[in-house]
Structure formats: C-alpha cells, structure tokens
Amino acid sequence: MKYLTDRKEIVKAMDTHQCITINMEHPVAGFETIFEGEKVGVKCPSRRFGEITVYGTIHYYSEENKFYVQHVGDCIKASFGAEDIKEIKERKYCPKVSEGEEVLLIQDYGKRGLVIRVMKVTRCNSMYSDACVLVDVE
C-alpha cells in the first residue's frame, strides 16, 4: 500500500490526481462493516456509445477489505424538480475516474485524522452494481 505523509508530496499528488473522500468514522446506518463516501463518476467503455459515465457512491466493506463505487442505476422520472437540479449539480462537480487511473483516496476518521492512500481504478463496467473497484498501488 502506498500512503502519502509528506506535505509537499500530498499537495503535488492532489494537483495531478482525482481525490475521493470516504467517511470512515461512522458506518452506514444499520451496518457495522460498510462505510460510504462521496459520489464518483466512472467512465466505462461501451461498444455502442464509445464511453459512458455512470455515477455511484464510494463504499468500503471492511469484511472484504474492498473499496468500490456502487452504481445503483438511473431512471427517467415523470417530473423534474429541485432534487433533480441538486443531483445534476452534484454530478457536475464530483470526481470522474477511468480504468487504470491512479486516484487519491482520502479516508476521513473524524477527530482521529485523515489517511491518504494512492489507489488504482480497475474493472470499470456499467453493467455491474459495482461500477469499478479500487486497489492499492504498491
């Protein structure tokens, strides 16, 4: 695993890599081993459209020691309202990653501090519920 600890190294890496934050202080309500972070866009190859971007939330399962972006799918609604506008804004500013790309994963432990890991995006696929998996860079 590659962790960043030096200030200069962190700032330089944050300029060149996408940064994804996950809350490791509080698990998802009702689960003790699942942690959730921010929304992430995953650029997936598509034979029909070339490349499509799906959006999901970064998750960590402590039982499997696995970080991945869970894509829940999209649907067309009969109405368009304030929640849709908020969703569009959130998607516009979220980090977007593609397969093979190195990203910075910022694990937020609240008052205990932050851990910054360099991870690589693998297995990007819009057809799976986990749109991509993050693995450690050695």
Round to whole Å and give the CA distance between 91 and 58.
14
Domain count, the chain: 1
Round to whole Å and give the CA distance between 97 and 119.
11
Handedness of CA 128, 123, 63, 32 (dihedral sign): negative
pLDDT for the residue numbered 73:
76
pLDDT for the residue numbered 10:
96
Structural domain of 58: 2-136
List the chain pLDDT tens, one digit each, 138 residues. Answer: 899 999 999 999 999 999 999 999 999 999 999 999 999 999 999 888 889 999 999 999 999 999 999 987 777 788 888 988 998 899 999 999 999 999 999 999 999 999 999 999 999 999 888 999 999 998
3-state secondary structure string across 12-69: HHHHHCEEEEEECCCCCCCCCCEEEEEEEEEEEEECCCEEEEEEEEEEEECCCCEEEE
